[in-house]
Structure 1
Amino acid sequence: MEDNQRETAGKSSDKQPPRRNQFWPILLVTLLGFLVLRSLWPAMSYEDVDYGFFLRQLEGQNIQTLEVNGATAIGTFKVPPEKPAEYNAEGERIVPKEDSGEPAKMGRKFFVQLPEGANDRIDLAAEEQPNLNLRYSNANPMQYLTLFLLFGVPIILLIVVWMMFRRTRDQIMGGGGFLSSFSRSTAKRYEPSDKQTTFADVAGLEGVKADLQEIVDFLKAPEKFQRLGGRIPKGVLLNGPPGTGKTLLARAVAGEAGVPFYSVNGSEFIQMFVGVGASRVRDLFQTAKEHAPAIIFVDEIDAVGRQRGAGLGGGHDEREQTLNQILSEMDGFSGVESVIVVAATNRPDVLDPALLRPGRFDRHVTVGRPTFKGRQEIFKVHTRDVPLDNDVDLNRLAAVTIGLTGADIRNLVNESALWAARNNRTRVFMADFDYARDKVLMGAKREEVLGQDEKKKTAYHEAGHTLAAWFLSGAQRVHKVTIIPRGRSLGSTQIIPSEDRVSSSEKDLQDQLVVLLAGRAAETIIYDVTTVGAENDLERATGMARRMITHWGMSPKLGPVSYKTSEEDPFLGREMHQTRQFSEHTQELIDNEVARILHEASDRAIELLREKTSQLELITQELLEREELSEVEIESLIGQSVHGPAGHFEGAKEPVPLVPAPADDEAVAEQAVSEEASVETSGENPVA
């Protein structure tokens, strides 16, 4: 959609108001100031002469007019005299000359500073020269300057400010000024193009696409639904985890509908001035109604649609006024029949109930994480432009990426392509996908090197996790274990489910607790001490055990009762006026039951690892030697797990053993032969 032509939602016409000349006030003020200065200092256009030169010209009867004003005088010569001579540093006399070589002449007008007593000599000269026009003036130029500064400058500033205010008001009312963006919507209008997104570009999510397809069909042929009295939903709310494709679905609706599609982010309504957001909402819906039928897409609507008056300190005036305007526009006194609002959020729990009711957002569509089939389709979409090798099995990739969203899969494909290009390969191999998946799920490798003692403790810790997950049926299967520092961990055991599951039994949860505590149990068995490396394991195990008691009723003492507290409320301060629904004694029983479940899981982990001591030592030694073991290698060491043969996932083909990808296409055949030989003889993964 980057190539789509966009229009601002507030522009209903291409005509722009005529622009006025913005420079004439400045020119007027500049001209006025120049005239004032010219009148205040007339000597600026006069020749400045010294008093001695002035007396020589006066006594020589070469002065025609003379006006004396205090200590200064201005006048005119009868005949322009030659400029007085100047002297250089050596005392030599220099006569100024023109280009023609003639002595330089002065102007007719002159200005002179008079010393004390000069008026008497001027009067004597005037008595001897009847043709001299002499007059005295008492006007002081500084008086005019003072009056100008006191009255003229403020009047000019008021005129300029008034003109600017008038121009700004006209721009806000007519549009086109720099302040007009405050009241106009910033929504973008998407027009059809050759590269637009459609439902064919959205893999999986068939149920979601069916709901949205109905919206598109109504906009194209409304009489089909109105014939039986049906009314199309006014709003569709897309909710789900981040990265599941909510915004992509909205862009696909824009590509399929063929009607004006306006896109805006919820945070764009919120400004520092109260009422601006409501004005933008009015402008957006007004523009959409003018081009109806139309679709309005509001991304991250939780930024503006949060519950009103929730949390500590009340509400936010600007957000609440904006929300009230949205509620009124969607289903107010004057309803909008042919404008459909599509919104997306990953926090539906914080939205205002009035926004979610029928008549506004009639349909709530959950965009969940993709299933196995959906992940297959997503891999096919994102690898369309990626040259893949023959060993790449998209079914296997879909099977080992349970829980990943569409954005995660896109990132995984991109990382694998970047890694292949970094190694100067012309195709992407399965080994590149495995490298990218490890980087996405476990983090990038760290440069630090563990000491031998820390490395050994980490190996025992990860071996404990591996054995517990290997032999407990309720746990999830092990895919890979490593003691290479990645991300924020010194080592990690990559455990993934063998199938998509939406529910778990109490036995499964108890086995998963054993897996979480098995790393600490291995350290206890070998060293009789515990380390800080089990911090994350204990945190996750405690959270799971507490949810088993308070949320899922898995305690014989407490029974099938929910003891959820208000700690998970999304609004700060709301729990201050909410009372706990159980007593202190019940809280003590909850703590005791959580501790009991965790102690039982820890005892089971220790008992299991004591029975599997030889396997524990074997996996630890192999980890110390290789630093990383795959599921196939673990199976060759300790036998098949309770989850079935290594690499067998629901819907996946027989996995291809991982080998280093060849550097170029010419080595493919030779590499295939060496690959088959290495697997048959050693059964080990050369990559590890």
Structure 2
Amino acid sequence: MPVNKDPKPPRSRTIANLVLWVATGLLLLNIAFTGFSGSQTAKEPYSMFIHRVQDQEVLKASVGQDEIRYQVKTTDGQPGEIYTTTPIFDLQLPQLLEDNGVEFAALPPPKGQWIGSLLSWVIPPLIFIAVWRFFLTRNGGGPQGALSIGKSKAKVYVEGEAGKITFEDVAGVEEAKAELVEIVDFLKTPKRFTDLGAKIPKGVLLVGPPGTGKTLMAKAVAGEAGVPFFSISGSEFVELFVGVGSSRVRDLFEQAKKQAPCIIFIDELDAIGKSRSSSSFYGGNDEREQTLNQLLTELDGFDASDTTVIVLAATNRPETLDPALLRPGRFDRQVLVDRPDLKGRQAILAIHAKEVKLADDVDLQQIATRTPGFAGADLANLVNEAALLAARRGHTQVQQADFSEAIERLVAGLEKKSRVLSDKEKEIVAYHEVGHALVGSVMPGTDRVEKISIIPRGMAALGYTLQLPTEDRFLRDEAELKGQIATLLGGRSAEELIFGNITTGASNDLQRATDLAEQMVTSYGMSQVLGPLAYDRAQRNMFLDNGMGNARRPISEDTAKAIDTEVKTLVEAGHQRALDILQTNRSLLESLAQQLLESEVIEGDSLREQLKQVMLPEAPLDLEGVPPAAVTTV
């Protein structure tokens, strides 16, 4: 939990309260002077005053800009009651008073008027200052309780607090953990390194995809070392006012130096650390650039007494960072926190499974095998989703079936049982999905087919074929990629074969198949005509899939035409290969499709036994022996 060691109210808040009290007192004083100045008199309408003057009942009058005070005569001509009235602009009033024998003069200024005038100038600025100070105290905030807009917003975690995190709470990233163990040694026994003349690193950059546990790793380092942990996001440095970010950087490092040894953790470093050569910066007055410059200065400013202050930072966009941040002496160590492998996923599942009640049939190794590419956050979400499903079904323990359903929900989306398809649409979807399954079951390097369903899922899927890997794969050869293209086109090929027509259901399959074929030609050099050349120059983000393709190198018109022809050839070859396989196994295609229409779902051993009957065509299409001239013809 965040720590606030100063129980006394901040000085800025005390000043704001004092200003408010002074302004209130002066305002009350002004009311007192203006409200009780002068004697109390009866008030009459201005028309009555004019009638009294014309009837010669007024003895004397004092005329002011805001008030007329006059005294009437008694019946024997002696001075009587005093009245007041609010004047109306009238140039004839002095002549009227003189004609009727009224003694008149200007009204003297009321007592305390000078105080009211003074307060009218003093009170508004005091109120403005008080309100301004109040908003500053709300916008600011720091771990020591000094609330100010220029103060750091970092949260501080110290040893002994509840929820302490150690390396035992982190799994699946053993290489990164081993690298950070050295940082813990630096913090615990810095003298052992400095005695040898070694310089303790100042900055460590954790890079990796979202959800892999970069923040968790930083907290584990602080928990293992038993030192204070300052946590702040890069976006919290930047405010509307120029100079606030650099001020917060200075304040953060000043607080850290006072509590050394300690760790400063800056999450999403790219929020302030983007390259200054980027088009987003237009000069030295940019707020983010000033904040970055101050951070660079602070990293260089550690002296011998500050060597036990280590800065950890995390980002999933390391390619956007300024080179000055990554040079030796600053963030010179980069630790990759990548997605876990099979063993790592099993260890992560074991950690999160401690919080739920598992049935005896739960096999964490099988679940880990079926979740390739899942990060730590994905696996935590999977365990929680399985627990929610078990509770919804009334189970007292989380079963293996709950985990299987949770995996499908995360991969394919929620079931849309309310989406009713017509009989004709169901038949088309059934043949489409069985076509994927039959082709995918015999293609080299493809994942094992686990389930076929015509129950709609997600936003657009009317059915799906679930393929799950049996092992982690990091490389794919040319034959396997061609097999993936054929599998993607298996659904469309089944529609052509059975109905002699095609539908819009294969749009996503065509998109993925074309993208894969283009990557084979332009990125992987898998083209007999174009040779081992890469035509993609700019690489996309290594951790974030933003859906944007790579920028292509400048190429000639002939080369562009050759690329298009090669892509078309690869896709058409996969299409023909899928047609050949389905034609050879047409009876099995129709049999499985009818079963799917009756049960809506085919999975498990029954599906695998039937897919073992799939036969390859006697003369499958093979483009490797086709002459290049024939391949490139459109």
Structure 2 length as normaliser, TM-score? Answer: 0.81
* Aligned with 2:452 (options 472, 481, 490): 481
> What is the distance in 1 between the residues matched to 2:3 and 2:302?
31
Relative to structure 1, the CA distance from residue 530 to residue 120 in structure 2 (aligned partners, 3 Å threshold; closer, same or farther) is closer
Partner residue of 1:303 out of 271, 277, 280: 271
**Shift in CA distance, 15/216, structure 1 to aligned 2, threshold 3 Å:** farther
Tell me, in whole angstroms, the C-alpha distance in 1 between the residues paired with 2:320 and 2:525: 26
Match of 1:236 among 204, 212, 215: 204
1:380 corresponds in structure 2 to 350
Q: Which residue of the partner structure matches residue 457 of structure 1?
A: 428
What is the alpha-carbon distance in structure 2 between the residues aligned to residue 333 and residue 455 of structure 1? 69
Map 1:2-401 to 2 at 5 A.
4-7=1-4, 16-17=10-11, 18-19=14-15, 20-36=18-34, 38-39=36-37, 42=38, 45-48=40-43, 68-69=61-62, 72-74=69-71, 110-111=82-83, 136-140=103-107, 156-160=119-123, 162-163=125-126, 181-192=148-159, 193-311=161-279, 314=282, 317-331=286-300, 337-401=307-371
1:405 alignment partner in structure 2: 375
Once the two structures are TM-superposed, the CA of residue 637 in structure 1 deviates from its matched residue by 2.7
One-letter amino acid of the structure 2 residue matched with residue 317 of structure 1: D
* Distance in 2, Cα, partners of 1:641 & 1:231: 64
| Offset of residue 50 of structure 1 | 9.8
What is residue 630 of structure 1 aligned with on the other side? 603
Deviates more, 1:159-168 or 1:20-29: 159-168
Question: What are structure 2's unaligned runs of at least 5 residues?
Answer: 50-56, 75-79, 88-92, 141-146, 616-634
1:601 aligns with 2:574: yes
In the other structure, the counterpart of 1:611 is 584
Q: Which residue of 2 aligns with 1:548?
A: 520
SS at match of 2:313: strand
In the alignment, which residue of structure 2 is the partner of 1:517? Answer: 489
**Per-residue Cα deviation, 1:552-603 (whole angstroms, up to 9, x for no partner):** 11111121222114485899xxx9xx99443232222212111111111111
Q: Contact (CA 8 Å) 1:386, 1:417: kept in 2 or not?
A: yes
Matching residue's letter, 2:413: G
Report the alpha carbon displacement of residue 159 of structure 1 after superposing the two structures with TM: 2.7
Deviates more, 1:225-234 or 1:607-616: 225-234
Alignment match, 1:82: none
Question: Rg larger in 1 or in 2?
Answer: 1
C-alpha distance in 1, partners of 2:170/2:508?
A: 37
Cα shift readout 1:364-419 (whole Å, capped 9, x = no counterpart): 11111111111111111111121111111111111111221111111111111111
CA 25–639 in structure 1, closer or farther in 2 if over 3 Å, else same: same
The amino acid that maps onto 1:159 is: V
1:557 alignment counterpart: 529
In terms of mean alpha carbon deviation, does 16-25 or 340-349 score higher? Answer: 16-25
Please state if 1:495 is matched with 2:462: no
Does the aligned pair in 2 maintain the 1:517–1:605 contact within 8 Å? Answer: yes
What SS does structure 2 have at the residue aligned with 1:304? helix
8 Å CA contact 2:450, 2:608 repeated in 1:
no
Matched, 1:414 2:411: no
The 1:339/1:227 distance shift into structure 2, 3 A limit, reads same
Contact 1:72 1:114 in 2 (8 A): no
State the distance in 1 between where 2:349 and 2:138 align: 48
Q: CA RMSD in A?
A: 3.8
Q: Give the letter for the 1:68 counterpart.
A: A
**Would you say 1:539 and 2:511 are equivalent positions?**
yes
Q: Cα offset for 1:153?
A: 7.7
1:432 and 2:402 correspond = yes
| AA in 2 matched with 1:342 | L
> d(CA) in 2 for partners of 1:30 and 1:424?
68
Q: Deviations over 1:292-322 (max 9, x none)?
A: 1211111111111112231478579112221
**Is the 1:518–1:602 Cα contact (8 Å) retained in structure 2?**
yes
**Alpha-carbon deviation of 1:442?**
0.8
Question: How far 1:231 moved relative to its partner?
Answer: 2.2
Give the Cα separation in 2 of the matches to 1:620 and 1:205.
44
Gapped regions of structure 1 (runs ≥ 5): 55-62, 78-107, 124-134, 643-688
Deviations 1:472-517 (A, max 9, x none): 1221111212111000211111112210111111111111111111
Question: How far off its partner does 1:120 sit?
Answer: 10
Q: How far off its partner does 1:448 sit?
A: 0.7
Classify 1:514/1:631 alpha carbon distance in 2 versus 1 (closer, same or farther; 3 Å): farther
CA gap 1:109/1:637 in 2 versus in 1, 3 angstroms: farther
CA contact (8 A) 1:76 1:110 kept: no
**Residue in 1 aligned with 2:499?**
527
Residues of 2 paired with 1:546 and 1:178: CA distance? 51
1:514–1:602 Cα contact (<8 Å) kept: yes
Which amino acid in structure 1 is aligned with residue 211 of structure 2?
G
Paired residue total: 573
SS at match of 1:474: coil
Aligned mates of 1:310, 1:592 — CA distance in 2: 37
